[in-house]
Amino acid sequence: MSNSTAAISEVPAIHDIAKKAKPAQKFTLEIKASKGWVALNFREFWNYRELLYFMAWRNVMVRYKQTLLGVSWAILQPFMTMIVFSIFFGKLGKIPSDGIPYPIFSYCALLPWQLFAHSMTESGNSLVANQHLITKVYFPRLCIPTAPVISGLVDFAVAFIVLIGMMFYYGIYPGWAVVTLPLFVLLAACTSMAVGLWLSAMNAMYRDVRYTIPFLVQLWMFLTPVAYPASIVPENWRWLHGLNPMAGVVEGFRWALLGRTEPPGISLLVSIVMVMVMLVGGLFYFRRMEKYFSDRV
């Protein structure tokens, strides 16, 4: 050990350096242990927007690689579900559909629903699926659960083409309300993002979450008027229904595109507030848990 002490003294000890105050020296980054809740850093997230784009692009590219049908899966999934729904709920179950042909009634709801369900599932599993990145490279972790939501939008856009075809087929043409459609798409994306943030961060800590997600999706679907119209929910329970943001989204879709249902009212407002609360809470929770990801995931 004697030779090592000699060697250390060659370099001035850190305390000496600190004492010689150097006003000229500036640092661009300080790394230290964070405590408790951490401020959100959107500027950095914005700087990494290209990475976000590449990650979303990777998800899209990889999803249908080595499949025969390729991107048509994005159409087939909601389309097949629509057929099954039309047979069992529409024809056999005689579930009312507000006077709209049942196939388009359900397909119109399945689109935002699948956008939500797929994005949320993938977002919720994203941190675990990308653990090799988390333990090897630094970038704003928020990119990871966000990217699946963006790639979910791509699938949504593809499946939307079929809806346009179906609308021609059934001769249903939307009115001015169609301009509000982007709002509902955004609301669906925000909902999946909000839930995805909570789930992904918890998933990194407790793998129990992974097994909860499919169950959650299933349950949530029954609480959302995908297979049935919101009008069968008793009037004085509507506001409670609004606590489920996806109910607002699905009803909004039907109103904006098919036009025959009543316009969304107070329940939509409840949905929007609900999503905002979940999203902001999710962002802070995610940010707070961020420091544990690389060691625990």
Partner 1 sequence: MSELALSVCELSKQYRIGKRAWYKTFRESLTTVATLPLRKMGIMRDTDEAADSELIWALKDVSFEVKRGEVVGFIGANGAGKSTLLKILSRITEPTEGCARINGRVGSLLEVGTGFHPELTGRENIFLNGAILGMKRAEILRKFDEIVAFSEVGKFIDTPVKHYSSGMYMRLAFSVAAHLDPEILIVDEVLAVGDAHFQKKCMGKMSDVAGQGRTVLFVSHNLNAVEQLCNQAVLMEQGKIRMRSHDVRSVIKAHLNSCMGDSAASEWHFRYETKADPWFQPLHFRITDAAGKSAPMPSGNDLEHWLEIDAEVWLVDPALKVGYVIHADDGTPVYQSFHVDGPEESWPVLSEGRHVFRTRIPPRFLNEGTYRIELVAALHNRQDIFQSGRNAPTIFLTIRGGLSDSPYWMAKRPGILGPVMEWTVQAK
Residues contributing to the site for partner 1 (CB under 8 A): 3-4, 7-8, 10-11, 13-14, 17-18, 24-34, 50-51, 53-55, 57-58, 61-62, 65-66, 132-139, 204-208, 291, 294-297
For residue 91, what are the contacts with CB-CB under 8 A and spacing of at least 6? 102
Q: Tell the smallest beta-carbon distance from residue 137 to partner 1 (Å).
A: 5
> Least Å distance between CB 296 and partner 1?
5
Shortest distance in whole angstroms from residue 143 CB to partner 1 = 10
Q: Which is nearer to partner 1, 51 or 177 (CB)?
A: 51
Identify which of residues 34 and 218 has a Cβ nearer to partner 1 in the complex: 34
Structural element, H or E, at residue 119: helix 102-129
Q: Name 74's Cβ contacts closer than 8 Å, sequence gap at least 6.
A: 64, 154, 155, 158, 159
Compute the distance between CA of residue 279 and CA of residue 39 in angstroms, rounded to an integer: 15
Which residues are CB-contacts of 251 (< 8 A; sequence separation ≥ 6)? Answer: 225, 230, 261, 264, 267, 268
* Least distance from partner 1 to the Cβ atom of residue 208, Å: 5
Q: Can you tell me the distance from the alpha carbon of 191 to that of 66, in angstroms, rounded to the nearest whole number? A: 31
Q: How far is the CB of 142 from partner 1 (least distance, A)?
A: 14
Kindly tell me which of 26 and 94 has the beta carbon lying closer to partner 1.
Answer: 26
Helices (H), 130-227: 131-134, 143-170, 181-205, 208-222
Which residues have CB under 8 Å from 246's CB, separation 6+? 112, 113, 116, 188, 191, 220, 223, 224
- CB closer to partner 1 out of 187 and 209: 209
Helix axes 181-205, 143-170, angle to 10 degrees: 140
Closer of 162 and 202 to partner 1 (Cβ): 202
Minimum distance from residue 211 beta carbon to partner 1 (Å): 11
CB of 32 or CB of 94, closer to partner 1: 32
